[in-house]
Structure 1
Amino acid sequence: MSSSAAAAAAAALGPDVFLFSSLDVGTQLHGLQVGSVRAVSSRRRVRFSVASALKSEEKLRVGVLGASGYTGSEIVRLVANHPYFRITLMTADRKAGQSIGSVFPHLITQDLPGLVAIGDADFSNTDAVFCCLPHATTQEIIKSLPRELKIVDLSADFRLRNVDEYKEWYGQPHSAPELQKEATYGLTEIYREEVRKARLVANPGCYPTSILLPLVPLIQARLVGLENIIIDAKSGVSGAGRGAKEANLYTEVSEGIHSYGITKHRHVPEIEQGLSEAAQSKVTISFTPHLMPMSRGMQSTIYAELLPGVTVDDLYRQLQTAYKGEEFVRLLSKGSVPHTRHIRGSNYCFLNVFEDRIPGRVIIISVIDNLVKGASGQALQNLNLMTGYAENTGLLYQPLFP
């Protein structure tokens, strides 16, 4: 947009409103006064407040709880290039007293606070936190955090709206049922407006992200049947976490592939919750995850039935419409097969639809990086929204290839 065109557009919108490319938000914001800004990219309109974004010295102060795990370290890596966030607190009980560079040498160049135990954490210098703690431990911790904090929880502790279902799948009662009512499910592209207004966001699981992004628009449009949905999903080993486990040893996972959590994987109720909400009726799926001998990456291959009179072209057009202008969800050109190697290290989800050789059935393929769009990248995307920044801020890393 030329400067004259931008001025004319701003004048049309009224005082205290500016137009600029969302990809150039960092330079365009420099020097503006506090106010309401409407960012218009060539793709879509993004509206946000810049009350605390204008002065670089007033960066949003971020805490990372559980910084010694894979998702925690990925948050640190992503925030390193964020112009408006800075990390002021990091916890890691087993690594307390150490520097992040001693735990993750690839982060040694970052000027960051030392790791402390969660019990010793001081939140007085923190505006928002990413909780990267193990499942079933986060509820009590989040319940004790100051109410003024914005929170993105990367565990599963607040993903299931039904606390009885949580008890069934996680084997223990939900310890913060009142807080569960406040939590917003953070599948950004589907629940964007809810995330924008939230204080507590339950960041989706990696498998649910890769499955719900393609299926929700198709189910909402009544294009695929709700029965006989079969999902064959595969993940890199980092999805199992950084803890020392015999099943994750190199000799156990290399040169092979194995299924796990058959019929009882804990992401099943989360996936069914999202699909049921889209369908406005109960949806039950067949879901089998597999561990692949690679560090990161995830592919979900989804098999579904077309409703009478529906073609694969109808599905393609619906996904085209649903994700037109989206930064991070990309429908590939017809016939192109999504590959995990093409999204590695990025916040992108690539997907496509294919006609099955069995009449009336469709094959949908979706790929993400399980540590980025499947975890830390989506978490940062959500916190951007929650705090009034363009949601792609700090996330425009291109995929690593080869």
Structure 2
Amino acid sequence: MAKKPIKAAVLGASGYTGADLIRLAARHPGIALAALVAKGHAGQPLAQIFPHLASLDLPPLVTSSEVDWGGIDVVFGGLPHGTAHEEIGKLPERIKVIDMSADFRLRDPRVYAEWYGNPHSAPALLEDAVYGLTEHHRDAIARARLVACPGCYPTAVLLALLPLARAKLIAAEDIIIDAKSGVSGAGRTLKQNTLFAEAGEGLSPYGIGNHRHVPEIEQELGAAAGTSIRINFTPHLAPMARGELCTSYVKLAGKTAAADLRAALAEAYKDAPFVRVVEDGTIPATQHVRGSNYCHIGVFADRLPGRAIVVSAIDNLVKGSAGQALQNFNLMFGFDETTGLEQLPMFP
């Protein structure tokens, strides 16, 4: 007997992550999209905002006050950082939440206030929130009421480095991460640096030394390693719509070799349907995972003795956000982990 569809609401349905979640969820056999919330576009059909979704039979965009929350089973949060905790804090406790903002990723509300510039309005929920990096927290996610999906950069970095930090194969005090993302990672709000004339045909760093994903990465790597970890992280804006590439430069611990890192990653992800440790010598690239929920990881020996380079590539809107959210939904509601996410990467 088929399962009764899970009635879902999407907060922030007019943003890039909200739209990609809708694109994926619309073909999921266990989800009924019952409410699409977009405060600034309430009353409009989603097809007016995103014509590529015009073929879907969807409810109109509404404000949160217009939603009959009594008929909602799960909420996917795609609201901007700093606003999600207020809206999610008002939801009935019986509703499960899968949030794609940064508002529930950091365990310490003081750290959140330091990096995001305002106090957390629902600090009690932080204690119950499960960090939603699927491959590393499956059991906790399956039991959770509130899942905080990682940021796109942390997803790519942590999938590459968590098994290595946990096995103590890399030095905790010397991790340098060079990261690059497509402009969709900055959201759909109009910003000067993401205008075509500003971002096209160029490459520029931003958030140098103080990017908001730093404490999230340090929190999770430190927990895995069992010691405090500080990283050097610099993101760059790349002239592409979607995609993310993270190149991590690490110091090997003891007599570890690059081959040991590869072996540890292959063992860690041998049963992970969406994480692929690529063949020796193959270089991960964003165009190899575009539009999919896959993460490709490659390991290379550095020419500098005692060092290695780990490269990871994801689609920032899928594995880095909406796809990972759907993967977590599958665990929370008893579906096969790959349901609704079987699509292969688009190439070229």
The TM-score with structure 2 as length reference comes to 0.99
Deviation per CA, 1:41-84: give whole Å up to 9, x if none: xxxxxxxxxxxxx24xx211111011000000001100121111
* From 41, 45, 64, the counterpart of 1:95: 41
Q: How many residues align?
A: 348
Q: Which residue of 1 aligns with 2:118?
A: 172
- 2:198 corresponds to which letter in structure 1? E
Q: Which residue of 1 aligns with 2:6?
A: 60
Q: Distance in 1 between matches of 2:277 and 2:73?
A: 36
Q: Which residue of 2 aligns with 1:273?
A: 219
Deviation per CA, 1:355-374: give whole Å up to 9, x if none: 00001000000000000000
Q: Which residue of 2 aligns with 1:16?
A: none
Q: Which residue of 1 aligns with 2:232?
A: 286
- 1:207 corresponds to which letter in structure 2? Y
- 1:166 corresponds to which letter in structure 2? Y
Determine helix, strand or coil for the equivalent of 2:299.
strand
- Counterparts of 1:8-157 in structure 2, within 5 Å, are 31=1, 54-55=2-3, 58-157=4-103
Q: Distance in 2 between matches of 1:224 and 1:164?
A: 29
Deviation per CA, 1:3-45: give whole Å up to 9, x if none: xxxxxxxxxxxxxxxxxxxxxxxxxxxx4xxxxxxxxxxxxxx
- Counterparts of 1:306-321 in structure 2, within 5 Å, are 306-321=252-267
Q: Distance in 1 between matches of 2:78 and 2:225?
A: 31
Q: Distance in 2 between matches of 1:258 and 1:138?
A: 29
Q: Aligned-pair distance for 1:172?
A: 1.2
Determine helix, strand or coil for the equivalent of 1:175.
coil
Q: Which residue of 2 aligns with 1:332?
A: 278
Q: Distance in 1 between matches of 2:299 and 2:45?
A: 46
Q: Which residue of 1 aligns with 2:197?
A: 251
Determine helix, strand or coil for the equivalent of 2:168.
coil
Q: Distance in 1 between matches of 2:227 and 2:14?
A: 40
Q: Distance in 1 between matches of 2:122 and 2:27?
A: 34
* From 186, 189, 205, the counterpart of 2:151: 205
Q: Distance in 1 between matches of 2:190 and 2:279?
A: 41
Q: Aligned-pair distance for 1:299?
A: 0.2
- 2:127 corresponds to which letter in structure 1? K
Q: Distance in 1 between matches of 2:226 and 2:149?
A: 22
**Structure 1 residues without counterparts, runs of 5 or longer:** 1-30, 32-53
Determine helix, strand or coil for the equivalent of 2:36.
strand
Q: Aligned-pair distance for 1:201?
A: 0.4
Q: Distance in 2 between matches of 1:68 and 1:140?
A: 18
Q: Distance in 2 between matches of 1:93 and 1:101?
A: 16
Q: Aligned-pair distance for 1:247?
A: 1.5
Q: Aligned-pair distance for 1:119?
A: 2.5
Q: Aligned-pair distance for 1:124?
A: 2.0
Determine helix, strand or coil for the equivalent of 1:226.
strand
- 1:150 corresponds to which letter in structure 2? K
Determine helix, strand or coil for the equivalent of 1:225.
strand
**Structure 2 residues without counterparts, runs of 5 or longer:** none
Q: Aligned-pair distance for 1:280?
A: 0.8
Q: Which residue of 1 aligns with 2:333?
A: 387
In the alignment, structure 1 residue 371 sits paired with structure 2 residue 317: yes
The TM-score with structure 1 as length reference comes to 0.86
Q: Aligned-pair distance for 1:304?
A: 0.4
| CA root-mean-square deviation | 0.8
Deviation per CA, 1:218-268: give whole Å up to 9, x if none: 111111111120000000000000011112110000000000000110000
Q: Distance in 1 between matches of 2:249 and 2:65?
A: 46
Q: Which residue of 1 aligns with 2:129?
A: 183
Q: Aligned-pair distance for 1:118?
A: 2.0
Higher relative contact order (CA closer than 8 Å, sequence separation 6+): 2
- 2:22 corresponds to which letter in structure 1? V
Q: Aligned-pair distance for 1:281?
A: 0.7
Q: Distance in 2 between matches of 1:263 and 1:121?
A: 41
